[in-house]
Chain A
Amino acid sequence: MQRYSALSLLRGGLNGQKSWQRAWRDPAPKSHYDVIVIGGGGHGLATAYYLAKVHGIRNVAVLERGWIGGGNTGRNTTIVRSNYRQPALHNLFEFSLKLWEGMSDDLNYNVMFSQRGAMFLGHSDSDMIRLAERGDAMRAAGIDAEFMTMDQLRKKLPLLDLSDKARYPIVGALNQPRGGTARHDAVAWGYARAADALGVDVIQNCEVLGMDMVGGRVTGVQTTRGPIGADRVGICVAGNSGQVAAMADLRLPIESHLLQAFVSEPVKPMIDMVIMSQSIHAYVSQSDKGEIVMGGDPDLYPTYSQRGRPDRIEGVAGQCIALFPALSRLRMLRSWAGTTDMSFDGSPIIGTTPVEGLYLNGGWCYGGFKATPASGWTYAHTLAKGEPHALNAPFSLDRFETGATIDETGAGPMPHHR
């Protein structure tokens, strides 16, 4: 793999950018792989990378229906954090956060992981107790979390409405200093390039149409580019998990919903952190380009349309202005919508399935982007060993049957209640 560095840029500048190589190959599918990962999003590409790097399994293909990173990897608000209350979740996301911290150097691709801090606002004393519970649970697990005083908030975020006239007055905040954002597309590209360098075939424009099964075992897949055999097949297509699993006659505890987000026109720096509020149902940050990135509640009904309801965006705009009144005169520049795999406890599914040789990684609800490296790491482990890693063992497919659900918000089984 061609090393990227300041020196390589200097060289490129001097030779008219002639020295750059392709970031990843465009291979034709082979007839058989040790492992096929269906889905060329960040999770699938990370899985392939760690299969090759950690487990030495390099005869791997990532099959992508369209272009890599084109699903939810490219349709999110790029927030990375591990500030969850439930141990199974904060353990997984903290492992992820640690991988994020080394990712740019590991992949030799700058994913712009920016630890500007991610915080939840508290709007009442009872909010603050629940935030303390979350923070204390994190700290007890060795994860960073700290309260910010009103003075600190005022200094750090001078445009935040801290007045007591607000509908939900801000009384404090729980910050995770190591939280922040990353450049979403770069994550897909960085993993693709690094996986490719280790021999993984990243195959775009290759849609899986069916599963080949022999005696209840998956032996390969049918694709728009012909049949491809495999010892193990990993589904990694959050948003469409149910569609792909149905090819192996699996019915999943997943419903496809839609989450929208939008950005403003770029301006000079005005918001220096990731701000989230559960009372106001909104989250706000500012990208390096200067765009204010905003998101909120999902559309609350099943859809594959990737077309959002306008009233949802309008609501989120009001919520963000309530937090930062100065946002009112900025303009929404772009909006987008991602199809989310809503699981029935709000937590992901990473593990084995009742079909031999077939594995599932999905059900990420609205929280998949931040998990990209840990999802890939644990899924690679599961695919390599045939059994889950300790970190993803709680996230089994059968937990709805057993009742061992992992419900961060306590919202229960109905996806539209989360």
Chain B
Amino acid sequence: MSGPMRLADGGLIDRSRAVSFVFDGKSYQGYAGDSLASALLANGVVLFGRSFKYHRPRGVMAAGIEEPSALVQAGSGGRYEPNSRATDVFIYDGLQSQSQNRWPSLGFDLGGLNSLISPFIPAGFYYKTFFGGPKLWLLYEQLIRQMAGLGMPPTKADADIYEHRAAFCDVLVVGSGPAGLAAALSASAAGSRVILAEQDERLGGSLLTDPATIDGLSSDQWIAKARESLIASGGRILTRTTAAGYYDHDLVNLVERLTEPGQTPGADGLAQRLWRVRAGKVILATGAFERPRLFEGNDLPGVMLSGAVRTYLRRYGVRAGSRAVITTDNDDAYRTALALADAGSSIAAILDSRPADGVHSPLVQKAMAQLPVYFGAKLIAAKGSAKGLKGASALIDGKVTALDCDLIAVSGGFSPVVHLHMQAGGTLAWDELSGSFSPDQTRQNQTTVGAAAGVDGLSATLLNGWTKASSKAKAKAAPTCASDDDVALNIIADWEPAPQASLKKAFVDYQNDVTAADLDLAWREGYRSVEHLKRYTTLGMATDQGKTSNLVGLARLAKSEGRPVPSVGLTTFRPPYTPVTLGVLAAEATGAHLDPRRRPVLYQTHAAEQPIWQPVGYWHRPRAYPMGTENLHQAAHRESLTVRTKVGVTDVSTLGKFDVSGPDAAIFLELICATTVGKLAVGRGRYTIMLREDGMVMDDGTVWRTQENRFLLTSSTGGADRMAAHLSYVRKVIAPHLKVAVANVQEHWAAVAVAGPLAKDVVASVLPQMAVPRHMSLDVGDLAGVPTLTLAASYSGERAFEIYAPSDQIEPVWAAIAKAARDIGGCLYGLEALEILRIEKGHIVVGGEIDGRASPHDLGLSKMLRPAGGYIGHTALQRPAFAEPGRLQMVGFEAVDGAAIPEGSMVLTAPKTLPVGHVTAAGLNVIKGGSIALGFLRDGFSRTGEGLIAWSPTRNQTAKVKVTAPVFYDVAGVQYRD
């Protein structure tokens, strides 16, 4: 027997399997099938946690996911998890759990002092004090932050893994109580593919608390048979699986928990799985939550929801108290009273707020015959402490009466669980008598059945689930239960506390310590919209998401307003239905797998050279190839100097490449390119720019006429994906009439660039049978059996070539070229040297000068533009602002005082003035030495020679600069020609 409160037999626990676990440093024993809450209750533990604000002692309120109070932290290291509901953790051997939000201990919590000053810290008190400026607030806030929060934060990376899985079905049934099971059976019988999701570890729902006889079988047998039948017909049953979100077009996210908090997963290492289920139809059989009631001390350990008391008794074989008071507004709590009495507890009183003159159901009559039942009676106050209850006072026959008890079972009626229905865009209908909202209209292909639909009684529930699941279902074939099991609720909702109860200790939101008095105060202060009330008092914003408190709070607001509940409105229901671990949301897409990593085809070849890598978009490309002890800058300088004086080889395979062919290819390209394309001779190429529709420069590249009706267009690496989409858009949407085909050949072709005064020699040596093409000409060749295309184009400013070959055959091409270059004193060069060389030549790059704000005019490219227009961006470029004075225009800067020009720095005319420009990129003049830069300057084209300051206050760097044209090397442009 595991603990003093455990019954000798009964329940759905496996008494043959003892489980040991730890709570707050003490070892306990429970049984397989126990929740942490049931196992602790069995051991006589009543104090589970402390509330958020006043640190009041709290026990267990519920038996399921709606639990507001009994929060624990579990596990350790990479499996540590705070804020778990003890009612929603199934124990396992070795479970380590602790109470939280208390110091130094759960029994003696200094935070409880807050309770003493509670009159001075009512709802929203923090909006009314802590004035004196942000610095002072920061001090107050530091204390508040330490006091706030619940569990301790995790500090380690997750030890386990998570996955996503997509699934499709005809019918998704959420919830496996009697309504859900009947629905799943019905849908399955009608030939539908069914997925049944149950958040508990076993099927059955309310049948686990209230066993019944269904179709002549015990409910346990009936559930087992239903399971077999569903599986046999191809259905999928997911237990410990919560429907967390209902999204557009009948997409439901299910979270399957394969481990309990802190538990080590199986061999696959999987802790949880997210199912994205796209369903033909969704049946929500999510049941109902029992509501608490307002009385003084309604939050004390020992006050529990009536249904939870019965669940602990029946499912877990645990008696939550030996002398109980029941307070109710419905018949269901009588089942609890009778069950407790059967289990040997005494019943001090059943306080039924309904009038005495009603017609009593057989259940109530049965209780009246053996137990003290008082109609029109209410609880005033529970009395007790962290150690448990010490009696209560009640209003019975108009008199204040003391009651002796150690357990109060509360039932304030039931609220259908409409969360998913509302997430799916449904509407609600209000029933005044039972005080509940239930689903009304639906927007998606979903329906709600059973208690979640406000259906009352087991036989009606079974019938409802069966018939609503399928249009083919015949009522006659529905499962039926024994008439004894058919208990109606007969709720007469009564929200009003006894007049003698102090509302300052009558809690509505338990975890956040929101009392009825707080709600009344907020209303008096004008926070009268339900959303204002919620946000001002924090009602319903705790980790239980208001599951037990929302309607009690709404009813309180309605009373203040003097209006019916539905007219004060509801707060919005949004995913998740219950809190969902971030890890399972992310699954594999985090850490190193956050984004794809693209590796150029020559990645391994480069890796052998041990380069410094540089991320460019998703790509990783060599930034420099240091030799010996060289650092990045030394290596890059050597590499660029080698290009300027001898020859360098670099990998340009990642450039955007597009094959454009067809009779209208030139016309198409003249839509894309702002430069002239049509007049290009076959075998020749040109530099080009592409504009956005708003006239700004989007990218640059080259365009080559390989045949009369065939072109190769290149663009930047970083902009290649965008360019691909742009070309497709223009081709298919803007110019569908053109006879042209556009193929993205970015990864089909790899390319090696050779640049430098000796580049021609390298090309001649590796492609001896091909005449070396002139600048901006192309030719095809054959290199060791590999077909190549050689483009003579220069980015570095030297005579240069790009040699293209099919990606899968680039290896020997690269090897031959690299060897040929090295043989004559050349070297490999990376992106850093490329950057230095392009700055010297004033070539623009995406992300640098092509910043999305620069027009071609701003970049000094006006002369390139096709005068006739007709290209994308031309029209928008006619807007007046592009021609107005004060534009930021691209210039060069040269350091005049020997200091390095800081990249990204502001350009000023004098200290302490506002910037007139900025530096986009800076480097060293390779041959002459000295710092040079590119950047933008207001009206910069007309300011050549002006002395300015480049200032970087964040790095405490300054350089005196002179404005120059944006070209520092070979201004005449002779080096790259023959």
Contacts of A56 in B (CB 8 A): none
Interface string of B583-614 (1 = CB under 8 A from A): 10111011111110100000000000000001
B918 adjacent to chain A (CB < 8 Å) = yes
Contacting chain A: which of B170-178, B429-437, B518-526? B518-526
Per the bound structure, the CA–CA distance linking A140 and B950 in Å amounts to 11
The answer to whether residues A290 and B149 also contact, given A10-B120, A404-B881 and a CB cut-off of 8 A, is yes
User: A115–B951 contact, CB under 8 A?
Assistant: no
With both beta carbons as reference points, the residue of chain B lying nearest to A109 in the complex is identified as: B127
Binds B, one of A100-108, A369-377, A379-387: A100-108
| CB interface residues, A 37-90, toward B, < 8 Å | 66-70, 74, 87
Cβ–Cβ contact A145 & B954, under 8 A: yes
**Contact between B575 and A268 (Cβ–Cβ < 8 Å)?**
no
The answer to whether B148 touches A289, judged by C-beta atoms less than 8 angstroms apart, is yes
Given A265-B543, A403-B876, A4 and B594 touching (CB < 8 A)?
A: no
Cross-chain contact B151 with A267 (CB below 8 angstroms): yes
* In the assembled complex, A243 has its CB within 8 A of some CB on chain B: no
Partner of B953, one of A9, A112, A136: A136
In the assembled complex, how far is the CB of residue A311 from the closest CB belonging to chain B, in whole angstroms? 9
B903 at the binding interface (Cβ < 8 Å): yes
The answer on a CB contact under 8 Å between A410 and B853 is yes
Q: B residues within 8 A CB of A191? A: none
Q: Is A207 an interface residue (CB 8 A)?
A: no
The yes or no answer to A278 lying at the interface (CB within 8 A) is no
Contact A411 B852 (CB under 8 A): yes
Given contacts A185-B535, A266-B543, A407-B852, contact A167 B585 (CB under 8 A): no
B692 within 8 A of A: yes
Q: How far is the CA of A104 from the CA of B133 in the complex (A)?
A: 7
User: Which residues of chain B are within 8 angstroms of A315 by Cβ–Cβ distance?
Assistant: 586, 589
Q: Which residue of A lies closest to B832 (CB)?
A: A125
By the criterion CB–CB under 8 Å, are A328 and B582 in contact? yes
A413 at the interface (CB under 8 A from B): yes
Question: Could you say which of A221-229, A330-338, A360-368 contacts chain B?
Answer: A330-338
A9 touches B121 (CB 8 A): yes
CB distance from A393 to the nearest CB of B (A): 14
Which of the 9-residue segments B5-13, B152-160, B195-203 touches chain A? B152-160
- Size of interface on B: residues with Cβ below 8 Å to A: 117
- Which residues of B sit under 8 angstroms from A125, Cβ to Cβ? 614
| Interface window among A21-29, A232-240, A349-357 | A21-29
Task: List the A side residues contacting B517 at CB < 8 Å.
Answer: 17
Given A288-B148, A319-B590, verify A310-B122 contact (CB < 8 Å).
Answer: no
Interface check B28, CB cutoff 8 A: no
Q: Chain A CB within 10 Å — which of B517, B876, B903 has the most?
A: B903
Contact of B153 among A137, A204, A313, A326 (CB under 8 A): A326
Check A14–B119 contact: CB distance below 8 A.
Answer: yes
- B904: chain A residues within 8 A (beta carbon): 129-133, 136
The answer to whether B597 touches A318 (Cβ under 8 A) is no
The answer on a CB contact under 8 Å between B149 and A289 is yes
| Bound form: Cα–Cα A212–B334 in Å | 63
Residue B701 at the A interface, CB < 8 A?
A: no
In the complex with contacts A165-B592, A186-B127, A129-B903 CB distance below 8 A = yes
**Number of residues from A at the complex interface, CB < 8 A:** 120
* A112 contact set on B, CB distance < 8 A: 126, 137, 141
Looking at the assembled complex, report how far the CB atom of A122 sits from the nearest CB atom of chain B, in whole angstroms: 11
Q: Which A residues between 316 and 352 are near B, CB-CB below 8 angstroms?
A: 317-322, 325-337
Using known A-B contacts A132-B903, A290-B149, determine if residue A74 contacts B531 with beta carbons closer than 8 Å.
yes
Are A267 and B526 also in contact (CB < 8 A) when A109-B127, A321-B590 are? Answer: no
The contact of B905 among A132, A280, A333, by CB within 8 Å, is A132
Chain B positions within 8 Å of A101 at CB level: 133-134
Tell me if A159 counts as interface (CB < 8 A to partner B): yes
**Is B882 engaged at the interface, CB distance under 8 Å to the other chain?**
yes
Q: Is the CB of B526 within 8 A of A26?
A: yes
Q: Which of A185, A305, A328 contacts B583 (CB 8 A)?
A: A328
Query: Which residues in A have their C-beta under 8 angstroms from that of B358?
Result: none
In the complex, chain B residues whose CB is within 8 Å of the CB of A67 = 529, 531-532
A409 to B853, CA, bound (A): 9
| Interface flag for B952 (CB, 8 Å) | yes
Q: Which residues from B are CB-within-8-Å of A152?
A: none
Question: A123 CA to B881 CA in the complex, in Å?
Answer: 35
With beta carbons under 8 angstroms apart, the residue of B82, B574, B918, B954 that contacts A330 is B82
Residues of A within 8 A of B126 (CB): 110, 112
Most B-side CB within 10 Å, residue of A68, A109, A334: A334
Which A residues lie within 8 Å of B108 (CB)?
none
Q: How far is the CA of A411 from the CA of B847 in the complex (A)?
A: 11
Contacts of B30 in A (CB 8 A): none
B692 contact from A74, A309, A322, A412, Cβ within 8 A: A412
**Is B539 located at the chain interface by the 8 A CB criterion?**
no
B954 touches A139 (CB 8 A): yes
B615 is an interface residue with CB less than 8 A from chain A:
yes
On chain B, the residues within 8 Å of A137 by CB distance are: 906, 915, 918
Residues of B within 8 A of A402 (CB): 879-881
The reply to whether B153 and A5 form a contact with Cβ atoms under 8 Å apart is no
Q: Does B629 contact A (CB under 8 A)?
A: no
Chain B residues whose CB sits within 8 angstroms of the CB of A204 once the complex forms: 529
A281-320: CB near B (< 8 Å → 1, else 0) gives: 0000010111000000000000001010110011101111
Q: Which B658-676 residues have C-beta < 8 A from chain A?
A: none
List, in ascending order, chain A residues with CB within 8 A of B144's CB.
Answer: 288
Q: Are A330 and B581 in contact (CB under 8 A)?
A: yes
Closest Cβ neighbor of B247 among chain A residues: A310
Residues from chain B with a CB closer than 8 A to the CB of A123 are 615
Is residue B438 contacting chain A, with contact meaning CB distance below 8 A? Answer: no
Say if the beta carbon of A120 comes within 8 Å of chain B.
no
User: A93 in the interface, Cβ–Cβ < 8 Å?
Assistant: no
- Evaluate contact between A288 and B145: CB separation under 8 angstroms: yes
Instruction: Report the minimal beta-carbon distance from A271 to chain B, rounded to whole angstroms.
Output: 8
**Residue of A whose beta carbon sits closest to that of B543:** A265
Contacts of A409 in B (CB 8 A): 852
Select one of B158, B879, B919 contacting A403, CB under 8 A. B879
Interface string of A1-21 (1 = CB under 8 A from B): 000111011101110110011
Q: Mark B123-149, 1 if CB is under 8 A from A, else 0.
A: 001111111111101100100111011
Chain A nearest CB, measured from B657 CB (Å): 23
Bound Cα distance from A296 to B173, whole angstroms: 32
Set of chain A residues within 8 Å of B591, measured between Cβ atoms: 166-167, 321-322, 325
A102 to B136, CA, bound (A): 12
Which residue of chain B has the shortest Cβ distance to A190 in the bound complex? B127
B99 part of interface (Cβ distance < 8 Å): no
A123 to chain B, nearest CB (A): 8
A36 contacts the other chain (CB 8 A): no
Q: Which residues of A are found within 8 Å of B404, using beta-carbon distances?
A: none
CB–CB A12/B120 < 8 A: yes
B82 touches A326 (CB 8 A): no
CB contacts (< 8 Å) of B575 on chain A: these are 310, 335
Selected contact of A265 from candidates B128, B150, B698, CB within 8 Å: B150
- Bits for B267-278, please: 1 = Cβ < 8 Å to A, else 0: 000000010100
Contact across chains for B521 and A147 when beta carbons are under 8 A apart: no
Q: How far is the CA of A38 from the CA of B230 in the complex (A)?
A: 57
Given contacts A20-B525, A112-B141, contact A318 B590 (CB under 8 A): yes
* Residue B541 interfacial (CB < 8 Å): yes
A95 an interface residue at 8 Å Cβ cutoff?
no
Contact A314 B852 (CB under 8 A): no
Whether A413 touches B694, Cβ cut-off 8 Å, given contacts A110-B127, A140-B915, A325-B158, is: yes
Pairs of residues from A and B, 8 with the lowest C-beta to C-beta distance, nearest first? A410-B852, A290-B149, A403-B879, A318-B586, A403-B881, A133-B904, A325-B157, A331-B579
Sample 13 A-B pairs with CB under 8 A, ordered by A number.
Answer: A6-B129, A20-B524, A100-B134, A101-B134, A159-B155, A185-B536, A288-B141, A290-B148, A310-B276, A318-B589, A318-B594, A322-B594, A402-B880
New A-B contacts (18) at CB < 8 Å, excluding given A110-B129, A329-B582: A9-B120, A9-B122, A22-B525, A68-B532, A74-B531, A87-B914, A110-B131, A132-B903, A136-B918, A145-B954, A265-B150, A269-B153, A289-B148, A317-B586, A325-B157, A329-B80, A336-B574, A413-B692
